[in-house]
Structure 1
Amino acid sequence: MGRNEQFEGVYAREASILVSFQWNGGEGSSRRFRERIALLPTLPNLRAAARLRDDIQAAIRLGRFTVEDFAKHFPDSKWLKQQPARTGDTFKDVRQSWLRHAEMTLQATTYREYQRTLDRYFTSVWEDRDIASITFDELSEYLAGLGIKSPKTFNNVLTPLRRLYAHAILTKKVTEDITEGVDSRKVQQAAPDPLSLDEIEAVLDHIAKKYPEPWLNYFEVAFFAGMRPSEQIALQWKSIDFRSHKARIEAARVRSVDKGTKTHKVRDIDLQTRAFEAMTRQKKFTFMNASSGYVFHNPHNDQRFFNTDPPLSIVWHPTLKALGIRDRDARQTRHSFATMCLHAGMNPAYVARQMGNSPRMFFDVYSRWIDGDASQREKAKLDALLSQASKKQAL
């Protein structure tokens, strides 16, 4: 086509070529750039400039075009010379610095989750960006563009970024924490959905008839000890005191990694009679397995549980379906324990200690059952008084 060949956004001048594109300059709002390349406007050079523009446009669309890229392509730009000096600390640099600190203080599962979140949502986009050049407007627009509907997911995505920026402030890599202006979304907490005592007995009876005995032992402990599923699969025989009917809860297994308890506190629990009897029956299956030491194994392969999925998929969900009971997650065995204790009139503070909850959290979560039973007991006191008064009058 010769010299008259047209290239979008590329303009020939007497002794140079202009490249035009829209970019935010590493900041908030977008603007038009027309930058000069010191090349004669020959056809091969014009074609090369068009390819460069295409590459720049693609990087801009992906959010990967940085001031450093701009400087590499247009070192003599007037706009570039007007920009303030850069710190040289990229988002990736600060991320790596923070992760080194975080690895020493966070649980392994939390650390890996934060690392994956940053890599997926932020590092891949801002990897080589000067972190001080990223603005609140840019972050806000980017988060909105992700289209995350779930408040919990949105907050989980934002949490490691908030921590990274807190580190950046402390290490003076930035002067402004742009995450402070982003509000966390309100998450509606799912209320406990416990099984009734009749439903619990039906579930255990079904498991006893259909599955190997270790599964019955597992779920009887789940219902009558109140442990978290992650704590139960990490329970070891050395933590069981058969003389005092107690168990020491000092570990949990989350995403196939052993860690401390959710509250980072060791607690001793009383094994209620049903839980103690199930634990005693379980001894004949795993107690002598010195290489393991764990109370509960998967009966299908005689290996310790690497996560909480097998009890759910193999036994829990199929049993609820078979009995026509509304499906629930595994935490409902724990909620069922709590509500049974409250219906039995047990001290809420005692139950909270058993479950590893703070009294305040326990009251917040189970206030409906605490208030309900308390109201009935108080009402019964007045009824008893009135009944006595009525009997006296009858005499």
Structure 2
Amino acid sequence: MARRGDGIEIRENSIRITFYIDKERHRETIKVDGKPIPPTPANLKYARRLAAEIRDRIKYGSFSFAEYFPASGAGAVTTLSEWLDVWLSSQRLEHSTLKGYNTCANFWKRSIGDKSIKTLKLLTLKKVIASRPDLTGKTLNNYIMALRQALDLAVSENLLSENPAANLPLVKYQKPLPDPLDRDEAEAIISSMLKRDEQVGNMVEFWMFTGLRTSEIIALKWSNVDLRKGRSLISETVVLGRHKVSTKTHTAREINLNSRAMAALKRQAVHSRMAGEHVFLDSRHGTPWEHERAFRRAFWEPCLKRLGIRYRRPYNMRHTYATIMLMAGITPAFAATQMGHSIEIFLRTYARWLDGSQNDMEMRRLEASFDKNCSLDVPEGI
């Protein structure tokens, strides 16, 4: 057997390709119509092209055993765990999304991973979901949607005639309302943060009065800030420590900076404008923030505990700014643009605050219409 540096192994009557996925070696024989192809010059040329294509697909996360080696990949799959691995290997996704899919796959692997995909029944899947009342509806629905996608691929590959998860109902649950800080709480947090660590306080004030997403604020660069015009371009994010040149919605937006946000930036410029490209730094190390966890544990949680303020996630500073804008009479269209929402999503999320002042006005009108001097005739015994 002759080995080549391009991942090709020449055998007596066949050609084998060697490649690696997550450091695991795979060796597959090239077949046409189920039969190994002989190592002729033309077939070796084809094998080299195929090997290079497979390496590229692996690099970009789009390789699928089911597509290239159905006999040893999808065709050999018997259990749900095995098929979920094949499905995951075929996904070309952002790192954070792929991490979420792995979590979903692991849920099903632990529950019924040893079962053959050909014997899966809707009742079995329903029992798995019903056995986990400890999980939120949102979490369970994520697991259901991931399984549907995985088994849809199995149907496409003719491994299943129908998807047993297609009719698996999503769990009904009530989405929690936004839980913003009130203005007094917001101001107390900003003041306390500034006294203890000005850089962290600057970030909190800017966050509280721009409503940026967590991933957006820790990725903000001075090159995207225009202090003269009072605007900032939001076009990059940091998710799970990885930098992305896109936002959550894959749409860049320019936001207007109010006086509070501008004041925070001008103070922060003294600390970081000449230190590097990032606006906000972890003052303990002089390095950019990689994720929310370090800020939350070292600064946010101790601050709220110190002030006796009911705990909310740092993300709720985003909700705080949205409600501040609405209570100030800002139009929903402008507010939605600043937040990076569609108007539909913004109205659905913050309808409670949008309607609040109008509802109070209508109730005052109703009360004013009552004749307080008249008495109601109430039947006896009631």
Query: In the TM superposition, what is the alpha-carbon distance from 1:207 to its structure 2 partner?
Result: 1.6
1:111 matched residue in structure 2: 98
2:28 matched residue in structure 1: none
1:137 matched residue in structure 2: 123
1:337 matched residue in structure 2: 321
Q: What is the alpha-carbon distance in structure 2 between the residues aligned to residue 190 and residue 324 of structure 1?
A: 23
Q: What is the alpha-carbon distance in structure 1 between the residues aligned to residue 75 and residue 303 of structure 2?
A: 60
Specify which of 290, 305, 330 is matched with residue 346 of structure 1.
330
Question: Is 1:204–2:193 an aligned residue pair?
Answer: no
CA contact (8 A) 1:339 1:369 kept: yes
CA contact (8 A) 1:87 1:130 kept: no
SS at 1:226 equivalent: coil
Q: What is the alpha-carbon distance in structure 2 between the residues aligned to residue 273 and residue 381 of structure 1?
A: 36
2:198 matched residue in structure 1: 213
Query: In the TM superposition, what is the alpha-carbon distance from 1:351 to its structure 2 partner?
Result: 0.4
Question: Is 1:150–2:139 an aligned residue pair?
Answer: no
Query: In the TM superposition, what is the alpha-carbon distance from 1:139 to its structure 2 partner?
Result: 2.8
CA contact (8 A) 1:207 1:216 kept: yes
Q: What is the alpha-carbon distance in structure 1 between the residues aligned to residue 343 and residue 181 of structure 2?
A: 23
SS at 1:180 equivalent: coil
CA contact (8 A) 1:223 1:337 kept: yes
When the two structures are superposed, what TM-score results if normalisation uses the length of structure 1?
Answer: 0.67
Identify if the C-alpha distance between structure 1 residues 172 and 262 changes in structure 2 by more than 3 Å, giving closer, same or farther.
same
CA contact (8 A) 1:221 1:275 kept: yes
1:393 matched residue in structure 2: none
Query: In the TM superposition, what is the alpha-carbon distance from 1:145 to its structure 2 partner?
Result: 4.2
Amino acid at match of 2:179: D
Q: What is the alpha-carbon distance in structure 2 between the residues aligned to residue 380 and residue 340 of structure 1?
A: 23
Amino acid at match of 2:308: G
SS at 1:258 equivalent: strand
CA contact (8 A) 1:286 1:294 kept: yes
Q: What is the alpha-carbon distance in structure 2 between the residues aligned to residue 375 and residue 339 of structure 1?
A: 16
CA contact (8 A) 2:238 2:291 kept: yes
Specify which of 222, 229, 232 is matched with residue 247 of structure 1.
232
Q: What is the alpha-carbon distance in structure 1 between the residues aligned to residue 123 and residue 264 of structure 2?
A: 58
Residues 55-109 of structure 1, C-alpha deviations (whole Å, 9 max, x = no match): xxxxxxxxxxxxxxxxxxxxxxxxxxxxxxx96433355334422331x2x2211
Identify if the C-alpha distance between structure 1 residues 233 and 278 changes in structure 2 by more than 3 Å, giving closer, same or farther.
same
2:89 matched residue in structure 1: 100
Identify if the C-alpha distance between structure 1 residues 167 and 204 changes in structure 2 by more than 3 Å, giving closer, same or farther.
same
Question: Is 1:359–2:343 an aligned residue pair?
Answer: yes
Residues 7-51 of structure 1, C-alpha deviations (whole Å, 9 max, x = no match): xxxxxxxxxxxxxxxxxxxxxxxxxxxxxxxxxxxxxxxxxxxxx
CA contact (8 A) 2:107 2:143 kept: no
Identify if the C-alpha distance between structure 1 residues 150 and 353 changes in structure 2 by more than 3 Å, giving closer, same or farther.
same
Q: What is the alpha-carbon distance in structure 2 between the residues aligned to residue 350 and residue 307 of structure 1?
A: 29
Unmatched tracts of structure 1, length 5 or more: 1-85, 383-395
Question: Is 1:224–2:209 an aligned residue pair?
Answer: yes
Q: Which moved more, 1:244-253 or 1:149-158?
A: 149-158
Q: What is the alpha-carbon distance in structure 2 between the residues aligned to residue 173 and residue 99 of structure 1?
A: 16
Specify which of 61, 77, 95 is matched with residue 89 of structure 1.
77
CA contact (8 A) 2:194 2:202 kept: no
Query: In the TM superposition, what is the alpha-carbon distance from 1:240 to its structure 2 partner?
Result: 1.1
Residues 353-386 of structure 1, C-alpha deviations (whole Å, 9 max, x = no match): 100111111111111111123445789999xxxx
Percent identical pairs in the alignment equals 32
CA contact (8 A) 2:202 2:267 kept: yes
Query: In the TM superposition, what is the alpha-carbon distance from 1:219 to its structure 2 partner?
Result: 0.5
1:256 matched residue in structure 2: 241
Amino acid at match of 1:254: V
SS at 2:232 equivalent: strand
CA contact (8 A) 1:87 1:132 kept: no
1:178 matched residue in structure 2: 164
**Greater Cα radius of gyration, structure 1 or 2:** 1
2:273 matched residue in structure 1: 287
Specify which of 287, 293, 305 is matched with residue 321 of structure 1.
305
Q: What is the alpha-carbon distance in structure 2 between the residues aligned to residue 287 and residue 255 of structure 1?
A: 24
Amino acid at match of 2:77: D
2:222 matched residue in structure 1: 237
Unmatched tracts of structure 2, length 5 or more: 1-73, 367-382
CA contact (8 A) 1:342 1:373 kept: no
Query: In the TM superposition, what is the alpha-carbon distance from 1:213 to its structure 2 partner?
Result: 0.8
Q: What is the alpha-carbon distance in structure 2 between the residues aligned to residue 139 and residue 205 of structure 1?
A: 52
Amino acid at match of 1:240: V
SS at 2:166 equivalent: helix
Identify if the C-alpha distance between structure 1 residues 123 and 95 changes in structure 2 by more than 3 Å, giving closer, same or farther.
farther
Residues 321-365 of structure 1, C-alpha deviations (whole Å, 9 max, x = no match): 222222211122111111111111111110011001111111111
More helix by share: 1
Q: What is the alpha-carbon distance in structure 1 between the residues aligned to residue 362 and residue 228 of structure 2?
A: 38
Residues 113-158 of structure 1, C-alpha deviations (whole Å, 9 max, x = no match): 212431353278435x542232223333344445544222222322
CA RMSD of aligned residues (A): 2.7
CA contact (8 A) 2:81 2:109 kept: no
SS at 1:261 equivalent: coil
